[in-house]
Amino acid sequence: MTRFERWCAAVLSLTLCVAAMARPRQENSDLLASLPASVHAAIVIDDAAALRNSPAGRTLEKWLTTAGLLTETSEAWKQLASIIDLPPAQAFDAMVGRSVVIALEFTPDPSQPGGVETCWALISRIEPGFEKRLYERLKPAPRGVSGGRPVLTLENGRFELATTDSADARVLPDDRRATAILAPASSSDLFDKLVAGPRHAGPRLADVPGFEHVRKLGAEPVLALLRGPLPGVYASPESLKETPSILAIAMRPAGDARWEATIAGNPALMTASRPAGGMAALTLPRAAIRQIAADSMFVFAGPTDDLNFSKIPGPMGEQIAKLTGPTQELDALLGPRMLMWMHPADATSAFAMSVGIQMSDVTRGSDLGDALLTRVLRDHACPTGPDGTRLSKELSFEGLNPEAQRMVEFRAADQVVREGQERAFMAWSYEQSGPGEQGWWIASLARGGSTRAATAEIERLRGVAAVPAEAERDVFSVVRLRPAAFAKLAGPAAAAIPILRSMTQIESAGWEVFLTDAGAAHGTAWLEFSKPSIQPNTPPPAPDADPDTAPR
C-alpha cells in the first residue's frame, strides 16, 4: 500500500467512524439524489468536525483504539497531516469535517471470472484556504480536463483530484467553500461523472424506484443507501444486472454510548435468496422468534441465503466436501428460512447453541441428514441415551422416525470420561410443520456435565416448528449480539487479546427488520457500549473553521 493509499484509507475509515455522530441536515437526501444512478452505494455525512469531539464520538474512537482497528489509520492520518503541515485533528476537520460523500460503483472484474470490482470516490466541501494548501503541499501534476474542470494527479498518477467552486456545485447559494473530488485512477469513469456534476447526462439516484425511502429519512444525521447488492456479500456479476432499487439506512446517536439506525426499502438487497413467492416467502412468524432464549449471546433469524454445503468456494469448500461427501440432494431440501441462537445453558453447562433449518421434505431429509452427520461425527462422537449413558462406539441412526431425538457425545481420543471433565452433547431431530412433508431440521450443541441443556434446546426448537402456518408472519431478518457476554467464554484470554477485550466493551448490537404489507423492509439497528467500561477522552479545543486563519 502506497503512502497516499494509506492517506485515502485514513480518510475513508475516519469518515465512517464519525458517521453515527453527525447532526441533521435536510439537504442530505438532495446530495444523494444528485449522484449518477450508476452509483451502487453512497453515504453522506455532515458536520463531522463539530461532533468528532462529542461524548459519542470519543466513546467510539476509544473503542476502535482498544480493538486495534485504528493503528494503521491513525498513522496514515498523521502522515497526511504532516505533509499538509497541520495537526492531525485540524487536518481531519479541514478535509472532511463539513459535508462529505463517499460514492461506490460495482462493476464486473474482467481479471476474475465471477468477480466484482469496486470503484470509489470521495466528495468533500473544503474552505478556500485549505484548497490552496492542498495544492501547495501535495504538489499534484496536471492530468487534463474533465467536465470543464482541470484534473490533477497524485502519487505518480495513481489518484485523481479536482476542485470546483462553481455555483451549481454549492448546496447553499452563499457557500464559499470549494468541492473537492478524489478517486483512484482505476475509478476514473466514476470520477469523471462526479466532476461533470449536473452536466453529466443520464439518470440520477433520485430516478431509481424506492428513492422515496431516502427522502423520508433525509432529516437524519447520516444517510446511506444501497442501489444493489453489496459485493462479497450478495453481489455477483449477475446480480448487478438486476433492476435497480433502494435500501436506505439513516444513522443517529442515541446517547453517549448508543447508536441507532433506521432501515427502509427493498429487502432483496439484504439477501441472496430470490424465492418464487417473493420476499414474503422468507418471513418468519413472530411467535417463532419469541421461542428464542432471552439471554442469548447470539441470535440469527432470517433467510438461509441458499445454504449449500456443496457450493462453498475455495479450500474451505474442498475440506468440507472431503468431510461430508456428496450433499447436493440434501442441499436441495434446505431452506428458505432458519433460526440460530447461542446462550448460557445452566449452572453445569458453559453454553448451548441451537439451529433450526427449514426442509421441504423431512422424511427424505432425515435420511440424508443422518447420513451426513454420521460421516462427519463418526471419528469424534458416540451415541448416548437421554441420561448421557454411552450406548455403543458406532454411530447408527437407521430405522429411526424423523421426529425421534438423536443424541451423541463428543468423546476424547481415548474415549475415557474422566471425573470433572467437561462433556459436550449434540441432539437433533426432524419436525413436520406445514403442508405435506415440509418441516424443520433442528439441532442443539451443549457443553457441560449432562444432556439436559441439549434436550431443553430441542424442546424449544420444537416450539418453533409447532407455530401454526397461519400465524402472523412478517419477521424478515433478526440479528442480536451480546459481545460482552460472548467474550466471557474465552476466560482470562479476553483481557489479553485486543479484539476480545474490545468485545467486553459492547453491551449489545444487532438489527430487527420486518416486512410491511406492501413488501418493503422496515426496521432498526443498534450498537450499545457498556457505559462503565469506556470513558470518553477529554475533548480538545475546537479548531478554527479555516486552518489558514488559525494561530500557529
pLDDT digits (tens, 9 = 90+) for 102-143: 999 988 777 777 677 889 998 988 888 888 887 778 777 777
452/432: higher pLDDT: 432
pTM score, two decimals?
A: 0.82
pLDDT of residue 204: 94
Domains, the chain, with CATH or none: 3-261 (no CATH), 271-481 (3.40.1000)
Name which of 7-16, 231-240, 384-393, 419-428 the model is least confident about: 7-16
pLDDT of residue 51: 63
- Taking the C-alpha atoms of residue 326 and residue 342, their distance in angstroms, rounded to an integer, is 29
What DSSP line would sit under 473-508, residue for residue? EEEEEEEEE-HHHHHGGGTTHHHHSHHHHHHTTEEE
Distance of CA 481 to CAs 16, 298, 385, 528, Å?
21, 5, 33, 10
How do residues 18-75 score in pLDDT, each as one tens digit? 443 444 455 788 889 999 999 999 998 877 666 667 777 777 777 777 777 666 666 7
- Per the CB < 8 A criterion, the answer to whether 355 and 338 are in contact is yes
pLDDT of residue 20: 38
How do residues 328-363 score in pLDDT, each as one tens digit? 899 899 989 999 999 876 554 478 899 999 999 999
Cell of 220: 437524519
Residue labelled with grid coordinates 444525521: 221
Angle in degrees, CA 478, 480, 484, rounded to 5: 170
184-194: average pLDDT: 90
Top mean pLDDT of 6-10, 147-151, 354-358, 443-447 is at: 354-358
> Closest Cα partner for 194 from 168, 215, 219?
168
